[in-house]
């Protein structure tokens, strides 16, 4: 079983790094959690939420995970059971914040000592704040990708940019999915936390931290909306450039067709097998017809130019 247990004076942290049958069985055997919450852990609902049970709080949070090699943002879920006596985190060990925290609790006595006499709510708030702070580097990567696309506009590479633009939009959608309801979850946790952690454990410092975390969520959402608006504008500009170039090509082909059609008609007429009735068939007839074609081409160019079609 993938589980690490860290005991402090006032609470215990159970960190489960998988949601397989073995981890779910451990929760069922050692805690009295509701069946619906167990099902949510075994089959992630992929939406942030918070439920207040009689003895504990159940929180589902989603966080983006950025793959540096592929540049793709995936979604990872973190399930939290908590009250004043314990904090249980259940996740796939994909979020670096949880990975780093587990390593610090195991290898750095100073970090464990930091929470030795603190309440569970302080440990939980630090987790939530660090999770939010970890999103800024991901948004920075998105911003850099957007800037790189922006610099490549108007370089006649519009078709090559389409896949890159859509990849960025996919990543932004994934991050939006994780952040959309997080502020509401944190606000509800703030309102109900005294009933589960005790009024003494929620002091001025904790109230300030709650406000800071909620403000972080709002700030992250603002950055995300800005990125979304920017990439949408770039996408629209790129599509306009592609449309303009296609229209320009179609205009050129149309002009070419209109010029060639009369010449083809003239050549077809003079290519008929008629005897005695075809004009200009005497001496130098071929060159006379070629001259007519050249005059026709010059007239068509003059007509298009005068109407500003070319």
Write the pLDDT tens digit of every residue in 70-108.
888 888 999 999 999 999 999 988 888 998 998 988 888
29 touches 169 (CB < 8 A): no
Q: Which domain holds residue 84?
A: 3-244
Do 227 and 293 share a domain, yes or no? no
Do 286 and 240 share a domain, yes or no? no
User: Of 244, 268, 294, at which residue does a domain stop?
Assistant: 244
Do 180 and 224 share a domain, yes or no? yes
Q: How many CB atoms lie within 10 A of CB 73?
A: 22
Reading the block at residue 83, the tokens are 């009250």
User: Of 244, 272, 295, at which residue does a domain stop?
Assistant: 244
Burial of 1 per CB tally in 10 Å (0-12, 13-18, 19+): exposed
Do 197 and 90 share a domain, yes or no? yes
Of all residues in the chain, what percent carry a pLDDT higher than 70?
93
Over 90: is that where the pLDDT of 233 sits?
yes
Angstrom distance (rounded) from CA 187 to CA 132: 15
Burial of 6 per CB tally in 10 Å (0-12, 13-18, 19+): middle
Angstrom distance (rounded) from CA 143 to CA 127: 25
User: Of 212, 244, 276, at which residue does a domain stop?
Assistant: 244
DSSP secondary structure string, 216-253?
Answer: HHHHHHHHHHHHHHHHHHHHHHHHHHHHHHHHHHHHHH
Do 42 and 148 share a domain, yes or no? yes
Residue 241 confidence (pLDDT): 86
Over 80: is that where the pLDDT of 109 sits?
yes
Do 27 and 170 share a domain, yes or no? yes
* Residue whose pair of structure tokens reads 């009735």 in the numeric block: 277
What 3-state class would DSSP assign to 85? coil
Do 161 and 29 share a domain, yes or no? yes
DSSP secondary structure string, 89-140?
Answer: EEE-S-SHHHHHHHHHHHH-HHHHHHTTTS-HHHHHHHHHHHHHHTHHHHHH
Residue 276 confidence (pLDDT): 58
Angstrom distance (rounded) from CA 260 to CA 269: 14
pLDDT digits (tens, 9 = 90+) for 273-294: 655 556 666 666 667 777 777 8
How many domains is the chain built from?
Answer: 2
Per-chain mean pLDDT for the chain: 86
pLDDT digits (tens, 9 = 90+) for 15-51: 999 888 898 888 988 998 999 999 888 887 678 889 9
Q: How many CB atoms lie within 10 A of CB 284?
A: 10
């Amino acid at each position: 079983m993938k589980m690490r247990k860290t005991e402090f004076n006032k609470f215990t942290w159970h960190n489960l790094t998988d949601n397989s049958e073995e981890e779910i069985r451990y929760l069922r055997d050692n805690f009295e959690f509701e069946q619906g919450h167990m099902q949510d852990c075994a089959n992630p609902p992929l939406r942030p939420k918070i439920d207040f049970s009689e003895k504990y709080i159940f929180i589902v949070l989603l966080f983006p995970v950025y793959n540096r090699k592929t540049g793709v943002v995936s979604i990872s879920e973190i399930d939290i059971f908590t009250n004043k006596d314990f904090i249980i985190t259940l996740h796939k060990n994909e979020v670096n914040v949880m990975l780093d925290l587990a390593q610090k609790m195991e290898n750095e006595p100073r970090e464990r000592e930091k929470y030795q006499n603190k309440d569970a709510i302080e440990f939980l708030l630090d987790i939530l704040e660090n999770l939010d702070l970890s999103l800024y580097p991901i948004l920075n990567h998105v911003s850099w990708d957007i800037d790189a696309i922006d610099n490549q506009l108007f370089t006649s590479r519009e078709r090559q940019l389409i896949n890159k633009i859509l990849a960025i939009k996919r990543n932004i959608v994934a991050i939006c999915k994780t952040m959309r309801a997080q502020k509401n979850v944190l606000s509800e946790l703030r309102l109900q936390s005294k009933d589960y952690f005790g009024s003494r454990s929620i002091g001025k410092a904790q109230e300030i931290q709650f406000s800071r975390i909620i403000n972080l969520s709002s700030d992250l959402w603002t950055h995300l909306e800005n990125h979304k608006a920017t990439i949408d504008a770039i996408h629209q500009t790129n599509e306009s450039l592609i449309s303009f170039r296609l229209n320009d090509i179609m205009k050129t082909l149309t002009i070419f067709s209109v010029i060639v059609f009369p010449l083809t008609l003239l050549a077809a007429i003079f290519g008929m097998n008629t005897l005695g009735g075809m004009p200009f068939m005497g001496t130098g007839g071929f060159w006379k017809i070629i001259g007519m074609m050249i005059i026709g081409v010059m007239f068509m160019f003059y007509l298009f130019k005068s109407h500003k079609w070319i």
